[in-house]
Chains A and B, each alone.
Chain A
Amino acid sequence: MTQSEIDTIIEEYERKESAILAILQRIQSKEHYLPKEDLEYVSQKLNIPLSSIFRIATFYNALSLKPRGRHKIDVCLGTACHVRGGEKILEKLERELKISVGETTKDKRFSLDSVRCLGCCSLGPVAVIDGQVYGRLTQEKIPSLLKEFK
């Protein structure tokens, strides 16, 4: 992100230190990760030690220090989805994308993660792609679903 873009975001939050999580989330959603230079710039602008920012960046699952894919897939492995075959969905995705959970495809198209219960248990197994929930998944539905994301 350019420095002026970061400035705009920081201004939007009235330069409040407490908005650090929200600011990092904004960078994350644009860049799909938190570039080191951006964190250094935020640290300087908000006068928060870089070490604290790194701690926050590693604490929250929504943030990542490694580059992630353009599309974020989260497979639910909560109790109900587990019972209904969440693992099978995850396995199928790993095979289709040729990556393991926690990784990103080489072309940066997808990142694959698992999440705790999303609250759609009765529609399990469930996965979320870019914030949109997909329920009643089967292994067969996966390939065509992936095609929707470029």
Chain B
Amino acid sequence: MKIRTKMDLERMKEKGLEILYPKGIKLSVGMATCGISTGAQKVYETIQNEVEKSKLPILVNQTGCIGFCQREPVVDILEPGKPRVFYQEVTPEKAVRLVHEWMENRVVTDWLFFKMEDEEWVVENRCWGYRIEHQPQGLDGISLYHQVPFYRKQLKIALRNCGLINPDHMEEYIARGGYFPLYKALHEMKPEEIIEEVKRSGLRGRGGAGFPTGQKWESCRKAKGNIKYVLCNADEGDPGAYMDRSVLEGDPHSVIEGMIIGAYAIGAHEGFIYVRDEYPLAIQKLQTALRQAEEFGLLGDDILGSGFSFKINLFRGGGAFVCGESTALMASIEGKVGEPRAKHIHTTESGLWDRPSNLNNVETWNNIPVIISRGSEWYSKIGTEKSKGTKVFSIVGKVNNTGLIEVPMGITLREIVYEIGGGIPEGKRFKAVQTGGPSGGCIPESLLDLPVDFDR
């Protein structure tokens, strides 16, 4: 079935809501790469077997990454009438016990992480409450998601769906507002209006250089040539950085939707996603997502009945760091050795196969649907004067809480290290903090109060 009208999209949303919030009990295991590396696969299989063996009325589900790396594997249970409960550091043995205790209306408080009573739907600007009827025993004193220090200062735009949807179910992405921005862009906006909106939002590329995205799109739209390309840089190679992987593994449709909107604005009909060779799970999730998008008419000819056509090819890298650089990446797609070339000519004018090409980072693309839905005025209120929106960071190294966080631009490193990161273990003194990116480096204590943005 192809989705062509708004009604079709609404119907998909209904279907998505039914699987996101089913009538019975749903248990989800966080199964992004890191979760799996600490045993989430075994946890998942064990729970499935147990549910089958004991004939428990539980739907066992997979999801992406909720960001608190240190506490992996993470499992959550959602049952109508109760708060959603997240457990941490779950092993197969613990999993069996917590499932049985749950059936007897008890929670194993020792392994509790936090509870959730509502979700933020950032695309629609809506708070989805769970209609709590009663609190199971032991849950009274447990922190809510928003109260956990690790999450309190976070603002999730890029990671909006990660850990909350099953990345293999496009309906769930649609349920939380996905592909409605695409509908709006294709049916209610002219390409120029979209570019204007992206320019006004102040969005800057998340791939390192911080180039204004709207401006890049505009020069590619204006470049001469009938055939143009849009590309997504998912070659993520900086040490300690894994935000792009988390987005691809946990919410692949957000990147696809961003690329379709960008292609329409720029006038491109073909796109490429260049994924790092070492990210097999991200590749797999993208393959599934692309197939679904094609099947439902979100990619291909006459997308959403608008007459616009666009297709996306997945390109797997060969394991070479320089391929993250834009000209090397394009050479690699052309079948050449991925070596950077001199940039007298901008790739927006002459890039892939010497055609106008617009390359953006995973996170840049993933922000687009939210900007289209909520508007540039809203988006540009987040962050600092010159750096708008949020940024996903990985905090690694010697802090108490390590993980993947998303914070408004302009937050200070002190807040990141001491509030979200929970400080330095065993009261050790702060030495230096490392930030990512080719431009990253070590930041000493004296600079801790500087706001985080592009220009530093």
Contacts and interface: CB of A to CB of B under 8 A. Distances in A.
B274 to A, nearest CB: 11
Contacts of A123: 34, 37-38, 69, 72
Contacts of B70: 122
Interface stretch (A2-10, A100-108, A127-135): A127-135
Given A122-B402, A135-B37, A80 B240 contact: yes
A119 B397 contact: no
Given A18-B334, A61-B319, A123-B72, A79 B240 contact: yes
B319 A80 contact: no
Give the residue among B245, B317, B336, B338 with the most A Cβ atoms within 10 A. Answer: B336
Interface in B409-445: 434
B116 interface: no
Contacts of A115: 278, 319
Most buried by B among A19, A61, A74, A115: A61
Nearest to A126: B37
A121 interface: yes
B278 A60 contact: no
B239 A59 contact: no
Interface in A100-150: 115-123, 126, 128, 131-136
B318 A61 contact: yes
Most chain B CB inside 10 Å of its own CB: which residue of A21, A25, A48, A136? A21
Contact of B245 (A79, A80, A119, A126): A119
B157 to A, nearest CB: 21
Interface residues of B, number: 41
A126 B397 CA distance: 14
Contacts, number: 112
A65 interface: no
Contacts of B319: 60-62, 115
Interface string B228-251: 000000001111111001000000
Contact of B36 (A83, A122, A132): A132
A106 to B, nearest CB: 25
A120 B241 contact: no
Interface string B308-347: 0000000111111100000000001111111100000000
B394 interface: yes
A1 interface: no
Given A79-B434, A122-B396, A136-B38, A59 B318 contact: yes
Interface in B321-376: 321, 332-339
Interface in A48-92: 48, 52, 55-56, 59-63, 74, 78-80, 83
Contacts of A136: 38
B154 interface: no
Nearest to A17: B335
Nearest to B434: A79
Given A79-B240, A119-B241, A59 B320 contact: yes
Contacts of B320: 59-61
Given A56-B337, A119-B33, A21 B242 contact: no
A133 B34 contact: yes
Given A18-B334, A121-B394, A122-B70, 7 more contacts: A19-B335, A21-B332, A60-B338, A117-B237, A119-B241, A122-B403, A128-B278
Interface of A: 16-22, 25, 48, 52, 55-56, 59-63, 74, 78-80, 83, 115-123, 126, 128, 131-136
Interface of B: 33-34, 36-38, 69-70, 72, 236-242, 245, 277-280, 315-321, 332-339, 394, 396-397, 402-403, 434
6 contacts: A21-B316, A52-B336, A56-B337, A79-B240, A116-B237, A117-B237
